Amino acid sequence: GYASIPSARFDAVLRERLGDRLVLGAEVRRLDARAVTLADGRVLTAGCVLDGRGARPGPHIALGFQKFLGQEIRTAAPHGLTEPVLMDATVDQHDAYRFVYLLPFTADTLLVEDTYYADGGDLDDAVLRERIAAYARSQGWRIAEVLREERGVLPIVLAGDMDAFWRDAAEGAVPVGLAAALFHPTTGYSLPDAVRLADLIAALPAVDVATVRAAVRGHALRAWRDRGFFRLLNRMLFRAAEPSRRWHVMQRFYGLPAPLIARFYAARPTLSDQLRILTGKPPVPLGAALRAALATDLRGAPELQEKTS
């Protein structure tokens, strides 16, 4: 099945569990391995500080981007959707792989998300709002109310050197989440990885900097090694296909059996799944696909070779 966690529900659970330990609206001036210094001068101390502030550009990972703006809307009449639409790529591509993602909540409320797989991470909110409005009109929906809005720029990993990445992270707060490259390499989704890492840290015999850093590093390196297939596919999508024709790659993929797609989204494809994805007539020129698969000179990481430790 398909599940989601609304932001309001996530917020409510965190407030209930953390109570007055939850600090909101506070600018962080400095992070150290055992202390957080806030802009107002307060210093919070702990046995170990985790840095989950998201992916940051660096010399050791080459990235593409999945960027989006979504609006939860209330329609003037029932919208007619009974299940999610993961990718409607019949829309104009605008020099990227563009699709609209639809997630119905009730008969007259749904999330409409305008999404792009693009080389750059810039996002023009005003333009995407106009495109969402135009898409709603094309579906015959009249927007009665915009209930909320969300935006994001998610990293899509093409290649990297994780040993060098973790050498740079040997001091200071321990990176987690996107900051530790713990996310699905192709979708950019990070919640399942966050849950697995939280369980791992909770089970540690001690929550000190050395113990936590070693555990997170080992976990992240194992995930990196296990997910090389996704990075290969990402390079083929971003380096072998022209931006406006990337939809051909996805069109072929979403014609595969639903159980295979589910395992892919869970980052657990079988060897048979991987062979099924790669066999058959390629949706991109063969020469370009081979060059992308073997690429060592990627934008954002010159002369970067894939290293898995």
Reading the block at residue 117, the tokens are 């797989």
What pLDDT does residue 2 have? 67
Cα 70 to Cα 306: distance, rounded to the nearest angstrom:
34
Q: How far is CA 51 from CA 54, 60, 84, 162, 190, in A?
A: 8, 18, 33, 17, 15
Return the closest-CA partner of residue 148 out of 123, 111, 115, 116.
Answer: 111
What pLDDT does residue 308 have? 44
Task: For the chain, give the longest Cα–Cα distance.
Answer: 61
What pLDDT does residue 112 have? 98
275, 191 Cβ separation under 8 angstroms: no
- Which parts of the chain have pLDDT scores under 70? 1-2, 282, 284-285, 296-309
For strand 28-31 and strand 35-38, is the pairing parallel, antiparallel, or unpaired?
A: antiparallel
111, 42 Cβ separation under 8 angstroms: no
Q: How far is CA 49 from CA 159, 164, 213, 258, 306, in A?
A: 28, 21, 10, 40, 30
What pLDDT does residue 1 have? 61
Q: Could you identify the residue written with the tokens 């989950």?
A: 52
What pLDDT does residue 278 have? 86
CATH numbers and ranges of domains, the chain: 61-156 (3.30.70.1990)
Q: What is the pTM of this model?
A: 0.85
What pLDDT does residue 302 have? 36
What pLDDT does residue 226 have? 95
